[in-house]
Amino acid sequence: MKATSEENRLNAKEIEPVSPPSLGPSTTTIKGCLLNKSRSALVRRNCYISQKRETWDRLFDDAYKADVEIHTNCDTHIYAHASILGFASPVFRGMFKKSRSNHQISIHGVAPEAVRIFIRFLYSSCYEEAQMEEHIISLLVLSHAFVVPQLKRECEYQLEHRFLNVDNVVDVFQLSLLCDAPRLSIICQRFVLTCFKAAFSSAGWKAMRASHPNLEKKLIEYVKFEDYRRKDNMRKFTERKVYLQLYEAMEALVHICKDGCRTIGPQDNNNNKKNMLKAEDQKPCKYEACKGLESLLHHFAGCKLKAPGGCLHCQRMWHLLELHARICANSNVCKVPLCRKFKQRIMKDSKKKKHNKKDEMKWKILVRKIMRTKSITGAPYFTLASTRG
């Protein structure tokens, strides 16, 4: 025995130890992660997330040295690690401060599978898409109750872009109010607005009516308000379109009376011969209202009932001429017929206070709205045209 021990010592002395690696930068692969070693820091590169996730999932599945027992519905038990749960959730951390060993937690009210998916997410920050779709409402509740903002944001995003439908929109709306998710609440309200009849007849709506009638009232008021706002916007859009057409008619009227167009225009214009050509030989005018005004002016010139209140077409022409006179900036040089006379009559009536106040107010409102409709483009075309003649 002594001889053998002495031989071993001799052999040990003969074997020279291997020199340690240098402290300069080098690369080594550890558990699927490519690391760059230096004196300053370790930088992770090209990490294989799948392998890391499998490690955390295996730790959760095997429950190696687990010190937490979670009780769920149907007498199901889930085992986990207090250090991981406490690090991921401040609520768990507060529970574990009360006792340092034999932690037992009860989570009821949701499916045991949802609790398992939730706990697994705390380990690996990953989830299966099919599981998320099936238990997304329960995961939203758990993430809010245990203050896991990463999972809560993911649930809100998935509900907003993928998993929100007619069957669950009412339930999600109620939970969004309870779970402090204002954006998701607005998304649900807008979704209900698009399919109100289907949502109103769903089972979730009936349950909300029985348990939370105030929420039902809130949703109905929102739908009514949005419907009223949509109709009001359509009405304003239609009015704006009419005012824009009147503005274009004023531009076309100045264009016809100043430059001439197609078969009508001033007699002393050099382009009179061109104006008298056939309509099909003319190039299309840039003013869409010219064609209608041209026929209206021809009728106005030859109608025997052109007095105000006689012919309906002539009455329209009288209104257009008066509207132009109220908008025109310089009637002394304007070439639109009767512009100066209308302006003088309006000023005369205003001084003598003979005009009807209601009619005068209507004219002022009409002029203001027409000018406001085209105010973005700058000064009105017909005002500039009338001052250049």
Which H/E stretch holds residue 229? helix 213-258
Task: Return the structure tokens found at 39.
Answer: 């004196």
- Total length of the chain: 389
**Which residues are CB-neighbours of 130 under 8 A, at least 6 positions away?**
none
- Is the CA virtual torsion 313, 315, 321, 324 positive or negative? negative
pLDDT tens-digit readout, 47-100? 445 666 778 888 888 888 888 999 998 888 999 999 999 999 999 999 888 776
Catalogue the E-assigned strands of the chain: 26-30, 33-37, 42-45, 68-71, 77-80, 103-106
Report CA 14 to chain centroid distance, whole Å: 78
201-211: pLDDT as tens digits: 999 999 999 99
pLDDT above 90: percentage of residues in the chain: 34
Beta bridge partners of 27: 36
Residue 26: band (very low, low, confident or very high) from pLDDT cuts 50, 70, 90: very low
pTM here?
0.60
Separation between Cα atoms, residue 193 and residue 185, nearest integer Å: 13
Structure-token pair, residue 36: 């760059």
Extract the tokens encoding 179: 């779970």
Q: Is 50 helix (H, G, I), strand (E, B) or coil?
A: helix
Distance CA 254, CA 265 (A): 10
DSSP state of 162: I
On the CB side of 210, how many CA atoms lie within 13 Å of its CA? Answer: 4
Spatial separation of the C-alpha atoms in residues 200 and 186, rounded to whole Å? 17
Tokens of 41: 């820091």
Q: Give the least confident one: 1-15, 183-197, 231-245, 249-263.
A: 1-15
The amino acid at residue 11 is N
DSSP annotation of 264: B
Is residue 123 packed enough to be buried (19+ CB in 10 Å), middle (13-18) or exposed (0-12)? buried
Q: CA 273, CA 262: separation in Å to the nearest integer?
A: 10
Q: Are 122 and 148 in contact (CB under 8 A)?
A: yes
Any idea which residue has 């002495």 for tokens? Answer: 6
Q: List, for residues 335-352, the tens digit of each pLDDT value.
A: 888 888 888 887 877 776
Burial of 363 (0-12, 13-18, 19+ CB in 10 A): middle
Which pLDDT value is given to residue 92?
92
Alpha carbon distance 334, 258 (integer Å): 8
- pLDDT bracket for residue 355 (50, 70, 90): low
